[in-house]
């Protein structure tokens, strides 16, 4: 079993990811408003569908929380993965959304932008502040503090539901891109099962994987434009404008 230091080291190395989400959190409502509404009112159902889709509808690959939590692999996933996933999305909703996000970032070498980090950080800070206000109000028994705590809790819940809905819509758009729903794209092979675990897979090279050849033509995720400050790797020359990073060759994840 990997140590906590190994987990921290891998999380730090993943900061070198260079690809971007198809749509940032601020743009998800405009990009797909109907799915945002669906995610707000049926969050656990959306989380279930997105996780299953992220696993290429192969539930034999499923691990609780994507292999990111200490309980992963110890919840009987191999015997009844559908029931375990249902339990995860309803009982650990926030973890299920975060795990799907980590899986997509690891699979496609996607970084989280500063804007997305600020939104997620604001959501977490507001939740902590609402909890602190509730504790203080309970200890002091002040009516004014109780009312303030109630308002803070309502605001925190509203922000939490909104950000989670935007996050799940962002994941859906990324999966649409992977599956070629934005236009014809080269067929892609399903990655090895080991790639679906965030903490147990090796960290890819920051410049991405060397592109394989399909019918004599390279394919893959486009490198970020030079305007973002990243150099274009030599093996990305001649890449098409759309597509995803190719999966590593067989045996990469031994």
Three-state secondary-structure class, residue 151: helix
Beta bridge partners of 214: 217
Question: Which of 35, 184, 22, 216 is closest to 105 using CA atoms?
Answer: 22
62 falls within a domain: yes
3 falls within a domain: no
* DSSP percent split of the chain into helix, strand, coil, nearest 5: 60, 0, 40
73 falls within a domain: yes
137 falls within a domain: yes
215 falls within a domain: no
Q: Which residue pairs from 9-13 have beta carbons closer than 8 angstroms and sit at least 24 positions apart in sequence?
A: 10/199, 10/203, 13/203
DSSP state, residue 11:
H
Distance CA 47, CA 210 (A): 32
242 falls within a domain: no
46 falls within a domain: yes
Residue with tokens 């203080």: 136
Each of the 254 residues of the chain gets a pLDDT tens digit; together they read 455 666 666 667 677 788 989 998 989 999 999 999 999 999 999 999 999 999 999 998 999 888 877 778 787 788 889 999 999 999 989 899 999 998 999 889 998 888 888 998 999 899 889 889 888 888 887 788 888 888 989 999 999 999 999 999 999 999 999 988 876 555 455 555 544 444 555 544 444 444 444 444 444 444 445 444 445 454 444 444 444 444 444 444 44
Instruction: For 160-200, give the DSSP string.
Output: HHHHHHHHHHHHHHHHHHHTTTTS-----PPPPGGGG-TTT
109 falls within a domain: yes
Domain enclosing residue 88, as ranges? 14-178
What is the domain count for the chain? 1
What confidence tens digit (pLDDT) does each residue in 105-138 have? 988 999 888 888 899 899 989 988 988 988 888 8
Which residues make Cβ contacts (< 8 Å) with residue 254, sequence separation at least 6?
A: none
What confidence tens digit (pLDDT) does each residue in 14-25 have? 777 889 899 989
């Amino acid at each position: 079993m990997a140590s906590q230091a190994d987990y921290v080291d891998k999380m730090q190395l993943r900061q070198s990811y260079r690809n971007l989400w198809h749509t940032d959190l601020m743009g998800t409502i405009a990009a797909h408003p109907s799915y945002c509404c669906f995610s707000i009112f049926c969050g656990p159902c959306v989380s279930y569908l997105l996780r299953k889709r992220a696993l290429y509808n192969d539930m034999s690959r499923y691990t609780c929380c994507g292999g990111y939590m200490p309980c992963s692999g110890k919840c009987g996933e191999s015997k009844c993965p559908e029931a375990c996933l249902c339990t995860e999305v309803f009982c650990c909703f926030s973890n299920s959304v975060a795990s799907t996000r980590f899986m997509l970032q690891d699979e496609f070498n996607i970084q989280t932008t500063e804007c997305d980090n600020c939104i997620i950080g604001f959501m977490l800070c507001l939740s902590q502040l609402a909890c602190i206000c509730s504790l203080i109000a309970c200890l002091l028994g002040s009516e004014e503090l109780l009312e303030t705590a109630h308002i803070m809790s309502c605001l925190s819940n509203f922000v939490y539901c909104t950000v989670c809905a935007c996050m799940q819509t962002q994941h859906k758009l990324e999966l649409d891109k992977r599956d070629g729903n934005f236009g014809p794209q080269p067929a892609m092979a399903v990655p090895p099962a080991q790639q679906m675990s965030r903490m147990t897979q090796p960290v890819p090279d920051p410049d991405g994987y060397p592109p394989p050849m399909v019918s004599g033509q390279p394919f893959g995720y486009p490198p970020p434009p030079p305007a973002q400050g990243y150099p274009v790797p030599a093996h990305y020359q001649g890449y098409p404008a759309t597509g995803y990073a190719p999966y590593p060759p067989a045996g990469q994840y031994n």
